[in-house]
Amino acid sequence: MNSTKVTKIGVMTSGGDSPGMNAAIRAVVRTGIYNGLEVFGIVRGYNGLIENDIFKMDSRSVANIIQRGGTILKTARSKAFTTPEGRATAYENLKKHGINGLVIIGGDGSFKGAQTFSNEYDIPCIGLPGTIDKDIAGTDVTIGFDTAVNTAVEAIDKIRDTMDAHDRLFIVEVMGRDAGYIALHSGIATGAENILIPETKTDLEDLIASLTEKEKRRKLVNLVVVAEGGEYGDANKLEAIIKERIPNADTRVCILGHIQRGGSPSCEDRLIASHMGYYAVESLLCGRHNVMVGVINNKIHYTPLDKAVKEKQKIGQEWMKIVKILAS
C-alpha cells in the first residue's frame, strides 16, 4: 500500500452519466481544497487520463453546478484503458501533474478499471457509486437512482392518464441494463399490474393468463413495466407476443430511454452525492484506500473495490410477492 501522503488528487466521472455527479464533483473539490489539497479535474474519464486532458480546479470551478444534471467533467467508456499500454500512459500523465490520489465516480466497470490501475501502480483510489441502476453491492443508495426513478414515475403517471381515457394496455420499458430496480420501484409506485425484471425469470404463460383474466372481468386498463435488460426487455417484441395471444387488447408501447439519465438531480441525490464526496476525500487523507464509499442503514460504509465489482445488489423476492398482491 502506498504510504505517501496524498497531496494532489484527481476526480473523474466514468461510464454512464447519472444525475448528481456534479454534486459529487463539487463536494470532492471543495473538501479537498478545504484540507489543503490541490484538486485536478480529469475530462472524459479514463480517456482523459490517457490523453492528459487534466486541469487544476478551484472552488469557483464548481460554482453553480449542484443543480445541474450530467457532468461538467464529461464521461466516456475507455477501451484504451483496458490495455496495459493505455494504463501506463495514464500513469505517466498523473506523474506529470504530481497527482497521487484518485476519486472515480461511476459504476462497476469504472471500479474494475480503478482496482486494476491501483494494483499496477499503487495509486490510492476511492470509488463513488454513480449509477442510475442501483446495482452495486455495498450501498443501499447510488448517485442518480432517486432522480431516475422519479423521472420514470412522473412519465408513467402521465401515461396512466391516456391509458385510462382509452382503456389501453401499456407496456413501458425503463432503463436498468441487468438490474431491475428502476422497473421495480417505478412499477410499484405507479400501480403496475405486472413488472418484469432481469432478477426474476418471467413466466410468459402466467403473464398472459393474468392479462386474460383481467380482460374477462373488464379490467381493460393495464400497465406492464419492463426493465430493458430482462428476458422480455424489448417492449416492442413483448407487445407483439401479447397481441398475438390477446388479439382484443388495445396495446401501446412507450420506451422512456435516456430521459431517465437527464434532468436536475433530486434533493436526495444532491445530499447523497455531497455526503459521499466529502467522505471520499476524508478517506484519502486518513489512508483508507481502494474502497467504495457507500451508505448502509443511513451510515457511511466502506467496501473494498474488489468486492464492490464482484458482487451485485440483490432484489429480495418479497418485493415480487408485494407486486402480485397489490396488482390483483
Supply the CATH number for residue 35's domain: 3.40.50.450
For residue 23, give its domain range: 8-144+265-310
- Domains in the chain: how many in total? 2
Q: Is residue 269 part of a domain?
A: yes
| Per-residue pLDDT tens digits for 203-241 | 889 889 888 887 777 766 889 999 998 888 899 999 999
Whether residues 31 and 151 share a domain: the answer is no
Whether residues 107 and 24 share a domain: the answer is yes
Residue 246's CATH number? 3.40.50.460
What mean pLDDT do residues 127-136 have? 94
What does the block give as the cell for 153? 414515475
Active site residues per annotation: 133
Q: Is residue 291 part of a domain?
A: yes
Whether residues 140 and 152 share a domain: the answer is no
Strands 194-196 and 125-129: unpaired
Q: What is the mean pLDDT of the chain?
A: 92
Whether residues 271 and 135 share a domain: the answer is yes
pLDDT computed for residue 1 by the predictor? 46
The single residue listed with the C-alpha cell 410477492 is: 321
Whether residues 136 and 285 share a domain: the answer is yes
Whether residues 26 and 138 share a domain: the answer is yes
Q: Is residue 184 part of a domain?
A: yes
Task: Tell me the pLDDT band of 167, cut-offs 50, 70 and 90.
Answer: confident
Q: Is residue 170 part of a domain?
A: yes
Whether residues 67 and 209 share a domain: the answer is no
Whether residues 205 and 81 share a domain: the answer is no
pLDDT computed for residue 292 by the predictor? 96
Whether residues 158 and 250 share a domain: the answer is yes
The single residue listed with the C-alpha cell 487523507 is: 285
Q: Is residue 322 part of a domain?
A: no
pLDDT computed for residue 3 by the predictor? 59
Q: Is residue 317 part of a domain?
A: no
Strands 291-296 and 299-304: antiparallel
In whole angstroms, give the CA distance from residue 55 to residue 41: 5
Report yes or no: 282 and 30 within 8 Å, Cβ to Cβ: no
In whole angstroms, give the CA distance from residue 70 to residue 42: 15
The single residue listed with the C-alpha cell 388495445 is: 250
Q: Is residue 319 part of a domain?
A: no
| Per-residue pLDDT tens digits for 177-208 | 788 999 999 999 999 988 999 888 888 898 89
Highest mean pLDDT of the ranges 1-5, 188-192, 274-278, 306-310: 274-278
pLDDT computed for residue 219 by the predictor? 66
Whether residues 244 and 101 share a domain: the answer is no
Whether residues 100 and 39 share a domain: the answer is yes
pLDDT more than 70, % of the chain: 96
Whether residues 130 and 191 share a domain: the answer is no
Q: Is residue 281 part of a domain?
A: yes
Task: Answer whether residue 93 shows pLDDT above 60.
Answer: yes
| Per-residue pLDDT tens digits for 11-58 | 999 999 999 999 999 999 999 999 999 999 999 999 999 999 999 999
- The predicted model scores a pTM of 0.93
Ramachandran class of 13: left when φ > 0, alpha when ψ lies in -120 to 50, beta otherwise: beta
The residue type of 181 is Y
